[in-house]
Every structure is written in structure tokens, then in C-alpha cells.
Amino acid sequence: MNIEVTKRKRSRIKKVDFNNLEFGVDFSDHMFSVRYGEGKWGAPKIEPYGTIKIEPSLCSLHYGQVVFEGLKAFRTVTGKINLFRPDKYHERFNRSNERLCIPFIPYELFINGIKELVLLDQAWIPEKKGCSLYIRPFIFATDNFLGVRVSYTYNFTIITSPVGAYYKEGLNPVRLITSGEYVRAAKGGLGAVKTPANYAASLLPGEEAKKKGFTQVLWLDAAENRYIEEVGTMNIAFIIDGKLVTPPLEGSILPGVTRDSVISLANHWGIPVEERQISIEEVFAKAKDGSLQEVFGTGTAAVISPVGWIQHAGEMITIHNGEIGPLSQKFYDEITGMHYGEKPDLFGWCLTL
Ligand code: COI
């Protein structure tokens, strides 16, 4: 595949403080893009990161025909570059695209775009443990049209961003609160799709949660407001009586890649895994009888994020004394160990560049 490359004359990298990276505020020097129209992909290019020219009638601004992904590149301890499970992200990208009537993105286009971009901007991959180059591929409809219909044209773009921990808490436990008023997604809707609408729906409840001193909302199901779904920026898992319990993929939660990695590791370690409905009442009951040992979120941005407190209907539980639990730490160590090439890549998840 031939990618036309136009390099930036002078890098902006010196402006970035790699010792204090936040999530998603700095962007590397270049971006990849390719257009789709008349039923085929155009010529891919890499050019300096910068503005995209659009018309105000761009249909995706009005009706949200947009899908994105998020994956990471790591600088390994031996100086190589690891992409973590890119095939899995590609698969999910296309499942989301299918739901939003967006064309299939061939693996070659996805992976070669990422590889060339990451290699060109490899100076932007942080070396510090806990930091990485976050890769954000996204596709948006580009017809200029105000009727509601599927667009004929698209722009598939990839940008990258050197990042630190997603939450200001880092690996310290976060605080979650359920919402009695709002829902994230109903079955048959867009909950399993990585599309901006889900994130837009979470903003107001998220702001209200923050005002009350919580990190994020713990979403319950739309039908009964009982069964635990996810956290919006991550999936959720519970350690109950030594078993890993996590809500099943039934269409309203995002099929997380880190969720999948945790399940594979648990199976490998002989930890029983239950992908099943779990109600908030059960979680509170298990906290009270002492069998709820740990709770943690799993996500690409968040990796493993221990949960120390959950509030529901005015009542709060504290999990593992508000401290990181041993299994949360073990999953974190194992997964990040693979990221940085410190631990064996047990399942062949890393694509080393
Ligand atoms: C991710 O984990 O990659 C996410 O997409 C979560 C958030 C940054 C939107």
C-alpha cells in the first residue's frame, strides 16, 4: 500500500512535557487520512497534524454518523514498539461501522495507516511506564446534506496522542455512583458501538456525578435500572468469592478489548469467570456479607482502574478499604508487563514494529 507522506518541517515535540502527560491533550506531528467515495477508497496520505476543512452542512455534524476506536503503542524496555491487539480493535471498528452504515475498513488500510504513522512519529511514544501513544482512528460521514440518510462519502483519519493515566487518580481507586434518572443505552440501541452519541449521552450525568464528588457514573440497564452495565469509559468486573464476575455482552455495553484480555488471563490463571447479569442489589449484598473482594474497571484508556467506592440510592459501599486489591494489581501488572515487553506475550497479543 502506498501512502503519500508530507512531513512537518519542524517538530512540535519540544512543547510537550513528557513528565506530566495528561490524557488526550497533546497531538503528535502527523495524521493519516483517506477518503471514501463512489464505493471505493482513495489514496491514503500522511500529512502534518492540523485542521480539517469542512462545510457547515457536513452530515456527520448533524446526525452523528461517526465511529472511533482507541488503541495504544508502547515503547518496550528493549526499545521496540508494541501495538496491543490491533486486530481486535480493527474487528470492533468494523462491527461499529456496520451498525452505523459506514463502509468496512480493510485491515491493510487500518494497520498500515497506524504502522506508518506511529513509525514516523515514534519520538512521541513516551518511555515512562504507565504512559503510551494513544492511537485514535475515526471515520466520519462527509456528504454535505441535511436530509437523514446514509452518506455516500467518508473520511477515515488517524491521529495519535502521547498520554499518561486516564483518571487523575492514576491507579488509585475511583468513586462511582449509579443514576436513578438517566440511562446510557438500551438493548438494540448503540451501546455496543463506539460512536460519539454514547459519550454525549454520558456528559450531563457525568457532570452531576462529579459535582457530588464521584469520578464517573456506574450505568445500570435501561429496562429495569437494576443490572450493572459499564462505566462509559470502561467495562466493569467484580471479584466475588474468588470468581471474576462481569456483565455479559448482550448489545448494550461496549465489547471492551481490555475486558477480553482480563477474561483470557483469568481463564489462564484458573480463576472462574462468570459473564452474567449482576444486579446492584447483589453487589451491595455481597459487600455486606464480605464476599465482594474487589471491583475494577477495564478499558484501553484506563487499563485497570480499581473501584474503591460505589454509591447507589443514597447508600455507599467501600471496596477493599478503598485500596487497590491484589487481583486488580495482578491484572494491571500482567497486562502492562506485556505492553512494555517485560512479561511474556502469552497469547501473541502484541504486534511489534
Ligand atoms: C478508550 O478506552 O479507548 C476509550 O475510548 C475511552 C475514552 C477515552 C473515550
Per-residue model confidence as pLDDT tens digits over 240-258: 999 999 999 999 999 999 9
Mutational pocket test of ligand 1: of 233, 262, 304, 335, the residue with most ligand atoms within 8 Å of the beta carbon:
233
Task: Check pocket membership of 71 for ligand 1, CB cut-off 6 A.
Answer: no
CATH of domain 174-339: 3.20.10.10
Cell triple for 43:
489514496
Ligand 1 centroid from CA 303, angstroms? 10
216-236: b (≥16 Cβ within 10 Å) or e: bbbbbbbeeeebbbbbbbbbb
Residue type, 96: S
Average pLDDT on 188-212 reads 96
HEC string for 148-162: CCCCCCEEEEEEEEE
Ligand 1 centroid from CA 221, angstroms? 20
pLDDT at 1 over 90: no
How many whole angstroms separate alpha carbon 26 and alpha carbon 15?
9
259-280: b (≥16 Cβ within 10 Å) or e: bbbbbebbeeeebebeeebbeb
Per-residue model confidence as pLDDT tens digits over 311-348: 999 999 999 999 999 999 999 999 999 999 999 999 99
Residue type, 22: E
Task: Check pocket membership of 233 for ligand 1, CB cut-off 6 A.
Answer: yes
Per-residue model confidence as pLDDT tens digits over 91-112: 999 999 999 999 999 999 999 9
Per-residue model confidence as pLDDT tens digits over 288-310: 999 999 999 999 988 999 999 99
Average pLDDT on 67-74 reads 98
* Number of the ligand 1 atom closest to the C-alpha atom of 134: 3
pLDDT for the residue numbered 232: 84
pLDDT for the residue numbered 87: 98
Ligand 1 centroid from CA 24, angstroms? 10
How far separated are the first and last CA of the chain, in Å rounded? 17
Q: What percent of the chain has pLDDT over 90?
A: 95
The structural domains of the chain, with segments of one domain joined by +, span: 4-163, 174-339
How many whole angstroms separate alpha carbon 80 and alpha carbon 309?
38
Looking at ligand 1, which residue's alpha carbon is closest to its atom 9?
Answer: 233
Topology, domain 4-163: D-amino Acid Aminotransferase; Chain A, domain 1 (3.30.470)
Cα separation values, 24 from 27, 144, 230, Å: 7, 29, 22
Task: Check pocket membership of 65 for ligand 1, CB cut-off 6 A.
Answer: no
Question: Does the reported pTM lie above 0.75?
Answer: yes
pLDDT at 168 over 80: no
Average pLDDT on 124-130 reads 93
Spatial CA neighbour of 37 closest among 141, 176, 129:
141
Cα separation values, 257 from 263, 292, 304, Å: 10, 24, 12
Spatial CA neighbour of 306 closest among 322, 317, 282:
322
What's the burial of 334, exposed, middle or buried (CB within 10 Å: 0-12/13-18/19+)? buried
**What is the sign, positive or negative, of the torsion defined by CA atoms of 189, 194, 200, 206?**
positive
* Number of the ligand 1 atom closest to the C-alpha atom of 301: 2
Task: Check pocket membership of 235 for ligand 1, CB cut-off 6 A.
Answer: no
Which residues make beta-bridge pairs with 36?
A: 41, 154
170-195: b (≥16 Cβ within 10 Å) or e: ebebbbbbbbeebbbbeeebbbbbbb
Task: Check pocket membership of 301 for ligand 1, CB cut-off 6 A.
Answer: yes
How many whole angstroms separate alpha carbon 217 and alpha carbon 312?
10
pLDDT for the residue numbered 302: 87
Mutational pocket test of ligand 1: of 68, 300, 305, the residue with most ligand atoms within 8 Å of the beta carbon:
300
The DSSP secondary-structure symbol of 321 reads G
For residue 182, name the pLDDT band (cuts at 50, 70, 90).
very high
